[in-house]
Chains A and B, each alone.
Chain A
Amino acid sequence: MSVEIFHQLGFRSQWNFQSLNNDHVGDSVILAPSHMERNEVESLSERIKYISLFDPQFFLPNVQKRKLATYNFFPDIVAEGFQTNEYSEGYSDECAIQCVAFQKSNNFRMVIIPTRYVSGMSSNYIPQQQQLFVTPFVNAIDQIGKDRPVLLQLVLNDDMIKDQEYAADLLNWITGITVIDGVYLIADINPRPKQLRDIDFLYAYLRFINALVVNNLYVLLGYLNTEAALLTLASPNGVTIGSYENLRMFNIRNFDSDVARTIRGPNARLYVSRLLQWIDTNYLGAIIRVLGNTDLFDDNHYKAVMFTPSYQWHFSKPELYKHYFLVFSQQLQYITSFQGADRYHVFCDLTEEALLHYAHLRELGVILDQDSDGSHLPTWLTAANLFAAEQGWR
């Protein structure tokens, strides 16, 4: 079965909607209340709502971001009535009822049970999540009536996933929650490189996803960058594509209060599917100079716009991301048109082919920095090989 592609919405979500509507990229969107006020969400077309998920984004329940404040079920808003600063049992029931009712009344495709962000490896993680989210939301769903699938959202950090015992406890807990039909899983990686390179994490994450899948849970992976290509080996049901880097890598700071932060704009990057990498556009001239009229760059109507001489590359240009949505979704569809061992071999072929392209560029004298080169690919291959060996695919 091929994977469903979800647009991870945030800033500039109109690009995602345009990609979905005009280029037919993706199957669904994950609405982000931190970037969309309630009336904006409610005024979406019935068609869009019907295919969408609504992520309540309770990650920091006691922090009020301006747009989240337009939702009367956001914990910090409900808390006003309870005169307390701490998200607690006191009003978690109230939040749950209103949040479930909102998701149902807007006819979203599934109901998401939200989560709060927890750093480190808290020994209290499972009881706390159970008490503050799972129990109140399950009660609310029972009360209102379950008429659509329910996903449990979890933000798990790399240490939680890499620790076998901790991960096993999480799996036991998740698979024991009978009311849920699946998991909306978000990995919180520290530190955050442009591309994931931690073999232990990647291998452990593949195993974790696979364990959920074999337990017949629907698994949706959020905030993914191009490692989605690797993670499809574990057969998740849904993966996300996002525009800016903060939608391709979860960072809790983005959900902190609206205090102005100095954010330096990154260099513009172009996704090149044959390299499985976002290439700093400053290098494009060097690559074109050595390769000449090359088919290395994916061809579509966005490329036609971007490769005109007058085009001003900038990270805030929509073409970069709409091009990525189109190209990467096609790549994902290709990989996931295969299953099991075949999918693994296709992934290996694509990765090895990308490494050959990098070697060729190097031979021609093009030296790409670590954020544009293929140094992440051997780590992906290693994680894939470890997982494949365990699955009996090699």
Chain B
Amino acid sequence: MPFKTEQHLFEQAVVSPFIKNMVDTLKYPTYAFAEPKGLFGIPDLVVANVEHRNGQATIIRSFAFEMKLSNWKRAITQAYRYRAFANLAFVVIDRHFLKPALDNIEDFVKSNIGLISIDQSGFIHLHHTPEFEAPYCYELEVKFRKMVIGEKVGEGLYSPKLMVWNSTATNALNPQ
């Protein structure tokens, strides 16, 4: 059975241990942000691993996810935008409509975009793993950094909308 709504797919994806394990790191706190505005497009989810050292905060690794029921072409276009500010961008698509995306997996490889499928039971498969890469737009990278770790880096003034990922995964849905 396909997902009925994108929201449903999103909820299933964010609570999945697979994605949590992929974005989490034992070493650094992980921050997640649902539908952040003001970047390049509106990703469904962005995640950043942040190192705090000597009063400084640094983004070690960042992820952006575009979740779609079926339209892989639109999804990859959007995910490519997110590479402007994130190290890794993924399309998460309903497994029911996976085939057209898989038939064009070469496009994901060329553009260095990850492809993940998910079904209603929460089963997830990673079809293409992108390589870690620096974001391609410096201005947006800076904007993203400000969004995640605040302008006054090191003073603990994190964006109030951010949630630490490992408190509960669904916090990403309800940022405070």
Contact = CB atoms under 8 A, between A and B. Distances in A.
A370 B81 CA distance: 12
B103 to A, nearest CB: 16
B139 A367 contact: no
A282 B110 contact: no
A289 interface: yes
A169 interface: no
Given A282-B84, A285-B84, A286-B83, A367 B77 contact: yes
Contacts of B136: 283, 285-286, 289
B77 A285 contact: no
A370 B76 CA distance: 12
Interface string B136-159: 111110000000000000000000
A366 interface: yes
A267 B111 CA distance: 22
Given A286-B83, A364-B110, A369 B77 contact: yes
Nearest to A309: B138
B65 interface: no
Interface string A21-65: 000000000000000000000000000000000000000000000
Nearest to B109: A365
Contacts of A368: 77
A282 B137 contact: yes
B40 A367 contact: no
Contacts of A365: 110-112
Given A367-B76, A367-B80, A369-B77, A285 B137 contact: yes
B77 A282 contact: no
Chain A interface size range: 20 to 34
Interface in A363-390: 363-370
Contacts of B40: 267, 280, 282
Interface in B100-139: 107, 110-112, 135-139
Contacts of A313: 139
A336 B35 CA distance: 47
Chain B interface size range: 10 to 19
A280 B39 CA distance: 13
A161 B41 CA distance: 35
B124 to A, nearest CB: 24
A366 B139 contact: no
A363 B110 CA distance: 7
A294 interface: no
A293 interface: no
Contacts of A367: 76-77, 80, 107, 111
Looking at A282, A284, A369, the one whose CB has the most chain B CB atoms below 10 A away is A282
A365 B107 CA distance: 7
B111 A285 contact: no
B111 A282 contact: no
A319 to B, nearest CB: 15
A83 interface: no
A312 B138 CA distance: 10
Contacts of B137: 282-286
A286 B110 contact: no
B140 A282 contact: yes
Nearest to A311: B139
Interface of A: 267, 280, 282-286, 289, 309, 312-313, 362-370
Given A280-B40, A365-B111, A367-B77, 8 more contacts: A267-B40, A283-B84, A283-B137, A286-B80, A286-B84, A363-B110, A365-B112, A368-B77
Interface of B: 40, 76-78, 80-81, 83-84, 107, 110-112, 135-140
Nearest 10 A/B pairs, CB to CB: A365-B110, A367-B80, A285-B136, A365-B111, A286-B136, A285-B137, A282-B40, A282-B137, A282-B84, A369-B77
14 contacts: A282-B40, A282-B81, A282-B137, A283-B84, A285-B135, A286-B80, A286-B83, A289-B136, A363-B110, A365-B110, A365-B111, A365-B112, A367-B77, A369-B77
